A and B are shown apart, each in its own frame.
Chain A
């Protein structure tokens, strides 16, 4: 079965600095990888995904993530953080197995960007 780990409960960065939110995964086959963001009292919003191809994936709001197969990681990055990026971020993985409908989420990382 697939699983996801987000090793940091909380990440704090200053506005304008680069940010990284870490994610590692475990699957038996090849992974589909996703990042979602959750603002208070709102549902999860899709940011980006890795399916195949280029290891560097660009998504919404200037975010990007790098798929690293050897390290089984999919860290979320942004070159210059904004205060409005403060939210809860979830990494998710889905095994590419045909009959697998189960997408596993990490426990989430709370990002706080300070002015």
Chain B
């Protein structure tokens, strides 16, 4: 389809396991964002890519979280040694604009990956 896709849609991990969440943005979109949405809360910014460059990772909650976008399209969010507090929906979004004035461009969101850490 033409939208943002994410996989898997649901992931159950035992505490201490590593997980990898995938995002396929809209083709041609320069910017890619990862958000974490806890139950009953709005999305919280994790990190931002412009093409393959990770320009902002200020929202990553700990060094267990790592994101990459090596070819400027698909992105992977990796969480090492998962903890129960990592349980949330992880949302990926893309937009056609980059930095500066074009940052007004709206973001298009994927359906999210619901991570449950037991």
Contacts and interface: CB of A to CB of B under 8 A. Distances in A.
Interface of A: 4, 32, 34, 36, 41-46, 49, 51, 90, 92, 94, 96, 98-108
B58 interface: yes
Contacts of A107: 40-42
Contacts, number: 61
Nearest to B92: A43
Contact of B91 (A32, A44, A100, A106): A44
Given A45-B109, A46-B108, A101 B91 contact: no
Q: What are the 3 tightest A-B residue pairs by CB atom distance, in nearest-first order?
A: A105-B42, A43-B109, A101-B48
Interface of B: 4, 33, 40-45, 48, 55-56, 58-59, 91, 93, 99-100, 103-104, 106-112
Contact of B56 (A43, A45, A101, A108): A101
Given A44-B109, A46-B108, A108-B40, 7 more contacts: A32-B103, A44-B91, A90-B42, A98-B99, A98-B100, A99-B99, A100-B103
Contacts of A90: 42-43
Nearest to B4: A43
User: Residue among B48, B58, B103, B107 with the most chain A CB within 10 A?
Assistant: B103
Contacts of A103: 33, 45, 107
B84 to A, nearest CB: 22
A32 B44 CA distance: 17
Nearest to A99: B99
